[in-house]
Structure 1
Amino acid sequence: MNQLWRHRIILILVVSLFASIPLLYALSGYRTISKLTAEMHTQDIPMIKQVDQLIEHNRDRANAVRGLLLYEDDRYIEQYYFSTSKVHDLRRLLNSSNQTPGAVKDLLSRNNTWEEEIQEVFTVYETDHPQRAKKLAKQTTQTTQTILEDLSQIKDKLYRDLEQKLELTTEMTAEYKRMCFSLSILAFLLIATTIILFHRSKPILENKTNTYRP
């Protein structure tokens, strides 16, 4: 009888082991996909939003410079400094993050140089030299355009990377589903085979038990 119970316990353990195979694989897939999804939500999407805001505020600053020199309306000065404060906030945030791509940090450094040039335009304008300020502003036009274009290219690249990760997540989900289904079938066959073998060996064990019974 003790031998029969030992075989029953072994059967339960073997069945449990086979049944856990698809579950463990599914759990591994869930963790992998969850990690990738969390990375997109905590790193990729916020980074795209920050770069997009950087583009928007830099464009506002460029428009403020053009508006000031074209219409000589001091309200554009307020617009410029408001957008500049927003850019500074973003710059501190991006520079302090280890997740910020090197291309973005390099562009932030170039953005600082451009900002110094624009600041000189405002300084000259505020000292009652609008014509000279216009000449200085024209010299910064190409730099302004280049920075905006480079920022747009970086944002496009971040979008492409995000799309690739989304596609990868979809492919991984489909692959894990297929593998879990295949492993479930395999586990079922292994369990069925084990049970059949156990039931075939059960009469033999019982006969042996009866034979040795006093």
Structure 2
Amino acid sequence: MKTAFMFAICLLFPIALVLAQKPGERWSETDKKEIMTMLEQTRQELLNTVKPLTEKQFFYRLDDKSWSANDIVEHLGLIEEGYVREFWWALAQPTMPASYRDSTAGADQRIRDYATSPTKGEARGTNLPLHRYADKATCVRIFNTARDQSVEFFTKNAGVDMRGFYVFRKGGSGKREIRDLHQNALMMIAHTIRHTDQLKRTLADARFPKPDVIK
């Protein structure tokens, strides 16, 4: 069953059903609104989810294979810091061939769909949660700082055509994939949605302790 949060996401994300991205399209006012709205909405949904948790609940793992709220928030902060660096790096690159715009066309909706895809990802390397922060407040603050930096990037560069700057990934098939910066922001937002949903499932699990029970 979709939560109210996911219902709101479905209302905002599938603007593409009406305004599908076209080859050669520039960053539109609709694009800007989508990114800025979702950056704040997904931030607030995560913060509202962790707010009532005690310190012990925040660090509690259901089992050896599951992540705690701390693990999830730490991971999201690490990922976002990486995205922010990537946003600025991409903006500093030389002008790319015009054909790259055509290469990224149609990817917006696939990235939006990732928010609710059942396919599991795998954190690795420096993105793994390692209990870097000793308490809930610090962990949340680090995530918030990274999200503030994302908002700052898109605010400061509101006049920049984010469809004309790119990042590159090697997919599972080994083929290079291209995203424009709007799509990269969508991916970061979808990643936040996925892990907020993961956290909600954890909190709803019968094994998750009440604050007056956990030792």
TM-score w.r.t. the length of structure 1 is 0.33
Taking CA–CA contacts closer than 8 Å with sequence separation of 6 or more, which of the two structures ends up with the larger relative contact order?
1
Which is greater in Rg? 1
Query: Larger % of strand: which?
Result: 2
TM-score w.r.t. the length of structure 2 is 0.32
